[in-house]
Amino acid sequence: MIWMQRPPAIAIVSFHSGAGKTTLLEGVIRVLSRRGYKVCAIKHSAHNETRDAGKDTCRLREAGAVASALLRADGSLEVRSRGADLSSAMDAVSRFNPDIVLCEGFKDSGLPKIAIIDHNSAPSLQLQSVVAFACRDVVPPAGGIACLPCDPTAVAEFIVDRFLELGHKGVLVDRYGRRILGIRMSLTQKCNLNCIYCHHEGEKSPSGEMFTDEVLRILRLARDLGIRRIKFTGGEPLLRRDLGGIIAYSCSLGFDDVGVTTNGQLLRERALELYEAGLRRINVSLPSIDAGAYRSITGGDLGSVIDGLEAVRVLGMHVKINTIIMRGINDSAVDDLIEFARRNSSMLQIIELEDLNLDKGFFERYHTDLSEIEQMLSEAAESVVERGEMNRRRVYVVRGLPIEVVRPVNNPAFCAGCTRIRITSDGRIKPCLMRDDLLFDLLGGIKSGWTDAQLKTLFMSAVAVREPFYR
């Protein structure tokens, strides 16, 4: 599913009837409306008719075939949907461009929940994406990420904090409390290699590429939203002639960290240009230092990568060698890679194969969980560091060489530490590498003439639905 601009939505649910759902919802709407937010409320309606103007409401207009909207005295909109068709109701609601949508009920909707419990309840924690428990005088069971009094002002504050002021606090935070500090942007899906392990950054069938000015606009928006790190990937980013300009612009925006991930085939020719554009940090993919093995894994020429590594070393760039480990292919060559990285004054990053966009059976055949390699490194290391902001990856320092181990598969700690969001080569925001059902069409918005504010809202919507893949 491709999400166009949709406001953040929250369902208020309870584990018991009579828990105070409606009262809480009404109170939260009142507080948010008083604070100037445009709120939409969606309510189930079993009837086909729309409600007539009452004392406190007047009919605004038909909001769609299956939903009707009422403007309430407090300035909020109430949308009544027939049956329980939340998706149509959300489509109708989005047309009013509210800041937030609050729904009553819709337990299984997949929306973030404010769940109300009371003191005798033993709630099932099967609800997906509970962001808060509103409780009456009890400590809630573990599982919710916040516990609030069952008080409209407290719940409204929580909603403002988590969903409405994301961009204004200088940093985006998702509903699991993960700050969004980095963007990994694919600049193309074209590549000059054909690596057997490549996951194509999780892209299935991209529809074209972004133009330079579109890339620059997204970078500026990201910077405005508090993103601090930017990494360009692909496909092969060095195939883009405008890469130098994109890097220069990124540096001018003041990102703390601007990086590129490359296969290194074109690095020697472009090293100086990229350095002069401001690039100081580069990741080079290198699955083997044996020319024959390198060619059979990638289809490319090892000599070109080695020349490229030498060019960036001479320039003084910070280099990280990325090696995906595959059982029976390169898992016995780790010592050689360590020595190679040390000779080249690079860091080494050993990466677990992820099961994404691979040929059928490839993962089962070649995946290894890196535990043996990590054991070997931990025995040889003089020190071990955990990188908090980078998926809690471990870095082993072996005879002065930092070796980072990246083990994402089935690893909730990795997802819990994820601070990055992705932009696909065709300009969609991709909240999680592993999922392609949640894509937010940023480029579509740009091409349709959206304002910066609208595009930022889309960013925030993408952040609001982020959830850990492994938990």
Of 88, 65, 89, 66, give the one whose Cα is nearest residue 78.
89
Nearer to ligand SAM, 137 or 359 (CB): 359
Q: Please, what is the minimum distance in Å from the beta carbon of residue 442 to ligand SAM? A: 20
Reading the block at residue 185, the tokens are 């942007």
Sequence-ordered alpha helix ranges (H) in 65-105 = 86-94
What is the phi-psi region of residue 317: left when phi exceeds 0, alpha when psi lies from -120 to 50, beta otherwise? beta
Asked whether 209 and 188 are in contact (CB, 8 A), the reply is yes
Nearer to ligand SAM, 248 or 409 (CB): 409
Nearer to ligand SAM, 156 or 266 (CB): 266
Strands 9-14 and 113-117 come out as parallel
Of 327, 427, 411, give the one whose Cα is nearest residue 372.
327
What residue ranges bind ligand SAM (CB under 6 A)?
191, 197-199, 201, 233-234, 236, 261-263, 283, 285, 322, 324, 351, 353-354, 356
Q: Please, what is the minimum distance in Å from the beta carbon of residue 128 to ligand SAM? A: 27
Of 179, 280, 178, give the one whose Cα is nearest residue 225.
179
Residue with tokens 């086909």: 48
CA distance 165 to 159: 9
Q: Please, what is the minimum distance in Å from the beta carbon of residue 351 to ligand SAM? A: 5
Q: Please, what is the minimum distance in Å from the beta carbon of residue 113 to ligand SAM? A: 33
Q: Please, what is the minimum distance in Å from the beta carbon of residue 322 to ligand SAM? A: 4
CA-based end-to-end distance of the chain: 23
Nearer to ligand SAM, 218 or 324 (CB): 324
Nearer to ligand SAM, 85 or 301 (CB): 301
Residue type, position 36, single letter = G
Q: Distance of CA 18 to CAs 103, 209, 397, 465, Å? A: 17, 53, 59, 29
Q: Please, what is the minimum distance in Å from the beta carbon of residue 419 to ligand SAM? A: 17
Counting beta carbons within 10 angstroms of the beta carbon of residue 421, is it exposed (0 to 12), middle (13 to 18) or buried (19 or more)?
buried
Nearer to ligand SAM, 286 or 442 (CB): 286
Asked whether 316 and 271 are in contact (CB, 8 A), the reply is no
**Three-state secondary-structure class, residue 243:** helix
Residue with tokens 């940090």: 281
CA distance 188 to 443: 14
Reading the block at residue 346, the tokens are 């690079």
Nearer to ligand SAM, 118 or 404 (CB): 404
Q: Please, what is the minimum distance in Å from the beta carbon of residue 431 to ligand SAM? A: 18
Nearer to ligand SAM, 274 or 356 (CB): 356
Nearer to ligand SAM, 322 or 461 (CB): 322
Q: Please, what is the minimum distance in Å from the beta carbon of residue 274 to ligand SAM? A: 14
Q: Please, what is the minimum distance in Å from the beta carbon of residue 236 to ligand SAM? A: 4
Nearer to ligand SAM, 195 or 380 (CB): 195
Nearer to ligand SAM, 16 or 365 (CB): 365
Long-range contact list for 149-152, CB < 8 A, 24+ apart?
150/20, 150/24, 150/116, 151/27, 152/24, 152/26, 152/27, 152/28, 152/30, 152/31
Q: Please, what is the minimum distance in Å from the beta carbon of residue 283 to ligand SAM? A: 6
Q: Please, what is the minimum distance in Å from the beta carbon of residue 324 to ligand SAM? A: 5
Residues 6 or more apart whose Cβ sits within 8 Å of residue 65: 88
